Structure 1
Amino acid sequence: MSRSPGRIRLVVLLLAGLLAASFGSSAVTPTATTVGVGLTVRADQTAVGVSVGAQAVVAVTVSQQGSLLGPVQLSVTGAPVGASVAILPNPVLLGVPAVIAITTTAATPAGSYALTIVATSGTHTASVTVTLVVSLPTGFTMTLSPPSATVVDGASATYTLSINRGLLAGPIGLSLTGVPQFATATVSPSLSVLGNTATIKVSTATNVVPGAYLITVKGKSLLASATASAYLVVLPQTYDDFPVGGTPDRTLAPGSEPAAIDLALTNPFDAPMTVTGLGVSITSTSVTGCGVDNYAVDDYTGPFPLTVPAHGTRTLSQLGVPRGQWPKVRMLDLPTNQDVCKGATVQLAYTGAGNGA
């Protein structure tokens, strides 16, 4: 066997997808949870109220163990007479809330109803129960549509507010709650509505914390008031240029000590980012006949997350990670002649994953 040294250097940089976000107002969090075999179902509200002729919304998230199960379908039972149910989206996208909208009509009796939300994937099911309280209107009703809008960080969503005035003829003042921090909301034609419709636009910044936000419009006239709600689902923005770099710190020979890589992580964004995954792989060598099977990679074993400041670069050593936990490249001592690998350059690919700090 040959013990010819071979130099290792970085040739390829792979760019990892990152989301940049900052701490902000909290998104809605699950309050009702049911864990089934292989499935977990969560609803963000245990009870929701609605006036006759208006609409109630509930956000539901579904998770499943690993990737053993297939698409997850949602269904709802227990809705009152005269009410319609819409589920957006269905099948559920794992990790993205689905919104259940229950729209009542004049035929819907006032009262309390137990809505059973069932998630099904193959032979696996799980359910969660939410109480729907239907009450009589106090003068006018309002509805927001769509009941859920999904945007990527930095994008905007537009809702239409429809007002059923009944006998009310005067102005209705509008106010909004639930708009996430670092987002702005506008109402058109104005905050005092004389007609039957208004347009609400919510614009997010790239540092809005991803999650589901319950946007609520409160309408108030001289003698009556009403509310209408819809969800804003903010997804993380993916960036294409989060650089990961680094060079092994020693040359290699068969069976010699591995070369450690003090990876350098660069954050080109306006907010801190936390790196939650790092990877190194060998893609090829510069010498024909010297296969990548002559080498092996030892994975990064240090802590996560690693925080990199905005527009900054930090190496693993600068982040306090000891050399023993850096990723490493080794040249294997094989029972074959490895002379062909003399002077070979190994091409490495670096990857990373993470989100906003």
Structure 2
Amino acid sequence: MQHPLRFFRLAKEHAGLAGRALIIGLLAIFLPAGTLYAAGQQSAPPKPGILLQVTPSSRNVDQGQATSYSATVSSTGGFAGTVLLGVTGLPAGAAASFSPSSVKLTAGSTAQLSVNVSTASTTAAGDYDLTLTGQSGSILSAAVKTQLRIKAPLRVFGLAGDVSGLLAPGTNRSLDLGFNNPDKGIDVGNLSVSITGVVRTSKAIAANLPCTAQDYAVAQYSGRYPLTVPSGNSSLSQLGVPPTQWPRIAMLDTPRLQDGCKGAVLQLAYSGSGQGN
């Protein structure tokens, strides 16, 4: 015969186990329901926007000249409207224009523009960071950067020279280089002289007497740089460069027969670089 008190305790324990099972069952029901509720929520739709891209990332241009970039304008988030481009960071004397001046986008569309940048001869040489944006009302694209590198232009000028006197084995002659500058003053550098050919006399050719550029040597200009050359015609002597710094042509005294060089004419080439002041 079971004791009534023990039976009561067993019944109570079974009731507690049933209660816990019921709570766990409820949790098992409610947790998936909460998960389903969260998964059913929808994210906010994307805001209408403008995407701007500019190429290339850098352009070089001489002072007084113009260059251009390509811009791509795209609709994002269903944007539709007219977009204007703007640019900041231009140096003094430079200006930007756009072709076309604006673009009209429909949702999801893309348009192309040309960004034209002009400079003045007075625009300071240097590297400039340009910032471009696209705008339609209160909608503004993210800023896009590109670089504008302005350089002082190379100037075209004439360069000539002549050897005064005759050359014989073991002797040399200097060249008073002459300049013809059709533009304003320039700074000249990298002067050089080279022998491009030797024209023998017909007598030397008939006698098969050789004479080549290897019978000669060139000592290059050793004066100051940059050499400021004014507009018009001038020469090293007129610019105050001493003869000891002029280029020189020497005829070498070699063991081989050099009779083929008698009366020969040297063909010379001159080169140099000039940059506007």
CA contact (8 A) 2:167 2:251 kept: yes
The question of 1:279 aligning with 2:192 is answered yes
Distance 1:173 1:203, change over 3 A: closer
The question of 1:260 aligning with 2:169 is answered no
1:277 Cα deviation from its structure 2 partner:
0.3
1:146 pairs with 55, 61, 69, which one? 55
**Whole-Å Cα distance in 2 between the matches of residues 232 and 262 of structure 1?**
41
1:330 Cα deviation from its structure 2 partner:
1.0
1:294 is aligned with what amino acid? D
What aligned pairs does 1:59-78 form with structure 2 within 5 A after superposition?
Answer: none
Match of 1:20 in 2: none
1:143 Cα deviation from its structure 2 partner:
1.8
**Whole-Å Cα distance in 1 between the matches of residues 223 and 193 of structure 2?**
14
CA contact (8 A) 1:179 1:202 kept: no
1:202 is aligned with what amino acid? N
Distance 1:277 1:331, change over 3 A: same
What aligned pairs does 1:144-293 form with structure 2 within 5 A after superposition?
Answer: 144-148=53-57, 150=59, 153=62, 154-162=65-73, 164=75, 174-180=85-91, 183-190=94-101, 195-196=104-105, 199-204=113-118, 207=121, 212-218=127-133, 227-232=143-148, 242-256=157-171, 258-269=172-183, 272-287=185-200, 288=205, 289-293=210-214
Distance 1:206 1:225, change over 3 A: closer
**Whole-Å Cα distance in 1 between the matches of residues 56 and 132 of structure 2?**
12
**Whole-Å Cα distance in 1 between the matches of residues 168 and 103 of structure 2?**
81
1:186 Cα deviation from its structure 2 partner:
0.7
- Helix, strand or coil: the match of 2:104? coil
- Report % sequence identity: 36
1:280-325: CA deviation from partner (whole Å, max 9, x where unpaired): 111222214222222211111111122334x533322233321111
**Whole-Å Cα distance in 2 between the matches of residues 181 and 144 of structure 1?**
25
**Whole-Å Cα distance in 2 between the matches of residues 272 and 178 of structure 1?**
30
CA contact (8 A) 1:139 1:225 kept: no
- Helix, strand or coil: the match of 1:335? coil
1:203 Cα deviation from its structure 2 partner:
4.1
Q: Which has the higher Rg, Structure 1 or Structure 2?
A: 2
**Whole-Å Cα distance in 1 between the matches of residues 166 and 182 of structure 2?**
31
1:229 is aligned with what amino acid? K
CA contact (8 A) 2:67 2:116 kept: yes
**Whole-Å Cα distance in 2 between the matches of residues 275 and 245 of structure 1?**
14
Match of 1:327 in 2: 247
**Whole-Å Cα distance in 2 between the matches of residues 144 and 317 of structure 1?**
56
Write 1 or 2 for the structure with the bigger share of helix.
2
CA contact (8 A) 2:170 2:253 kept: yes
**Whole-Å Cα distance in 2 between the matches of residues 194 and 348 of structure 1?**
58
1:206 Cα deviation from its structure 2 partner:
8.8
**Whole-Å Cα distance in 1 between the matches of residues 48 and 181 of structure 2?**
54
**Whole-Å Cα distance in 1 between the matches of residues 71 and 257 of structure 2?**
73
1:326 Cα deviation from its structure 2 partner:
0.8
Structure number with the bigger relative contact order (C-alpha 8 A, sep ≥ 6) is: 1
What aligned pairs does 1:36-115 form with structure 2 within 5 A after superposition?
Answer: none
1:252 Cα deviation from its structure 2 partner:
2.1
Match of 1:121 in 2: none
- Helix, strand or coil: the match of 1:195? strand
1:353 Cα deviation from its structure 2 partner:
2.6
Which structure 1 segments of 5+ residues have no match? 1-137
1:317 pairs with 233, 237, 240, which one? 237
Give the root-mean-square deviation of aligned CA atoms. Answer: 3.8
- Helix, strand or coil: the match of 2:145? strand
- Helix, strand or coil: the match of 2:192? strand
